[in-house]
Amino acid sequence: MTATQPKPSTTTGAGETRILTLIQAINEAMAEELARDERVVVFGEDVGARGGVFLATAGLQERFGPRRVFDTPLSEASIVGAAVGMAVRGLRPIAEIQFADYMGPGFDQIISQAAKIRYRSGGQFTAPLVIRTPSGGGVKGGHHHSQSPESYFCHTPGLKVVMPSTPYDAKGLLKAAVRGGDPVIYFEPKRLYRAAKGEVPAQDYTVEIGQGAVRREGTDLTIIGYGGVMPDAEKAAQALAAEGVQAEVIDLRSLVPWDRDLVLTSVAKTGRAVLVSEAPRTANFMSEVAYTVQEELFDSLLAPVLQVAGFDTPYPYVQDKVYLPGPNRIAAACVRALNY
């Protein structure tokens, strides 16, 4: 991998690592958290014997039993709402929503209950829970299996929102989410489930929510992305390197809170920022990043902040690959910034 492995926020000793896929890392994180803490329960549609439609929970029910890993009725409102009630009563629920596209029926429970209960009760009641959900395109899923709804949740105070792109981060962020005190929406870029492979420590570690990672160091411009677009961002940086351009590549990993220091330090150094996200362009979370960069670094910018995003259309089935910001579109935006 060309990516710079992010520094773990906390580790308990160095040691053995293995090569895992992103989904194996997610599975391992849940298995370890289930083993570590009796309060942790895993549930959702088909997560039990089936192991989840993508097999993220494969083997967990067999190992931990149907009391701790179980199937629920086909109802996102129930799944999320029950997670809230369980968390309030002292459990550590990990709820799976089968596709991020189906979060609609659970939306009220997320924004009215999970996100608000600590605040509105003056801290008397809290709901530390994790909602895991596959998101994003690139798997020929059409518009009900490919959307990137993260911005809806980033707009709701009280929620933390993360989206890993490497197995290392997937495991570390999930463990941090389970152990934290807040509701966390954990988006899984489904096209990387098996495409992303990387070293994962055998020993326990977490990745602190709110910290980004530098995937590649550079001096000429900064490419900032998260989730499924990261491999393409790195490919774009490689192509630019062949032309003598050194792009710095940042993976946000966490959207709420996001690592403004890392982004601003990098863009202050390079003077140019290209923001990459596959979610629709309008009110895309990256608009917030762009706004912050221009507010904080207006005087040192060498070019306007540019955004490469999905289009403001429902996600198309046939033009799946065209919709996504691929390496060429990212590199073209970089060239535009460099030539400004």
Partner 1 sequence: MIQPFTSDPLRWVAEDGLPIRELPDRFTPAVLRDLHREMVRAREFDKKLVTLLRQGRTTFYAQSSGMEATQVGLARSIRVGHDWVWPYYRDHALGLAMGVPLLDLISQCLGTNSDLCRGRQMPHHFAAQRQNFVSISSSIASQVPPAAGNAMAQKYLGVDEITVCTFGDGATSEGDWHAGMNMAGAAGAPCLFVCENNQWAISTNLRAQTASETIHIKAKAYGMPGYYVDGNDVVAVMEVVSHVAEGVRAGNGPALVECLTYRVGSHSNADADAEKNYRTREEVNAWLARDPITRVERLLDHLGEPVSAEERADLISAVHREVDEAVLRAEATGQPDWRIMFEDVYADTPVHLREQAAFLRNEQEGVGA
Segment lying near partner 1 (by CB under 8 A), choices 28-36, 88-96, 169-177, 235-243: 88-96
Amino acid identity of residue 306, one-letter, is: L
Grouping H, G, I as helix, E, B as strand and the rest as coil, residue 181 is: coil
Of 102, 107, 72, 99, nearest to 86 by C-alpha is 72
Does 83 bind partner 1 (CB under 8 A)? Our answer is yes
x/- letters, 146..165, toward partner 1 (CB under 8 A): -----------xx-x-----
Segment lying near partner 1 (by CB under 8 A), choices 176-184, 216-224, 266-274, 323-331: 176-184
In angstroms, rounded to a whole number, what is the distance separating the alpha carbons of residues 83 and 127?
A: 8
Of 278, 274, 273, 186, nearest to 228 by C-alpha is 278
Of 16, 334, 1, 29, nearest to 177 by C-alpha is 29
Does 124 bind partner 1 (CB under 8 A)? Our answer is yes
Q: Which two tokens stand for residue 262?
A: 């890392």
Of 244, 171, 130, 240, nearest to 6 by C-alpha is 171
Which residues, 6+ apart, have CB-to-CB distance to 72 below 8 Å? Answer: 43, 44, 45, 78, 79, 82
Does 293 bind partner 1 (CB under 8 A)? Our answer is no
Near partner 1 by CB under 8 A: residue from 121, 219, 282, 319: 121
Does 126 bind partner 1 (CB under 8 A)? Our answer is yes
Q: Which of 143, 144, 145, 155 is catalytic?
A: 145
Does 42 bind partner 1 (CB under 8 A)? Our answer is no
Nearer to partner 1, 76 or 232 (CB): 76
Does 108 bind partner 1 (CB under 8 A)? Our answer is yes
Active site residue 144: no
Smallest separation, CB 286 to partner 1 (Å): 16
Near partner 1 by CB under 8 A: residue from 22, 56, 84, 324: 84
Near partner 1 by CB under 8 A: residue from 3, 117, 177, 224: 117
Q: Which two tokens stand for residue 67?
A: 């009391």
Near partner 1 by CB under 8 A: residue from 6, 93, 167, 225: 93
DSSP 162-178: E---SHHHHHHHHHHHH
Which residues, 6+ apart, have CB-to-CB distance to 198 below 8 Å? Answer: 1, 5, 19, 20, 166, 167, 168
Asked whether 76 and 102 are in contact (CB, 8 A), the reply is yes
- Interacting residues with partner 1 between 219 and 278 (CB under 8 A): 256-258, 260-261
Binding-site size, partner 1 (CB under 8 A): 49
Does 295 bind partner 1 (CB under 8 A)? Our answer is no
Asked whether 221 and 270 are in contact (CB, 8 A), the reply is yes
Active site residues: 145
Residues that bind partner 1 (CB under 8 A): 41, 67, 72-73, 75, 77-78, 80-91, 93, 105, 108-109, 112-113, 116-126, 128, 157-158, 160, 180-182, 210, 256-258, 260-261
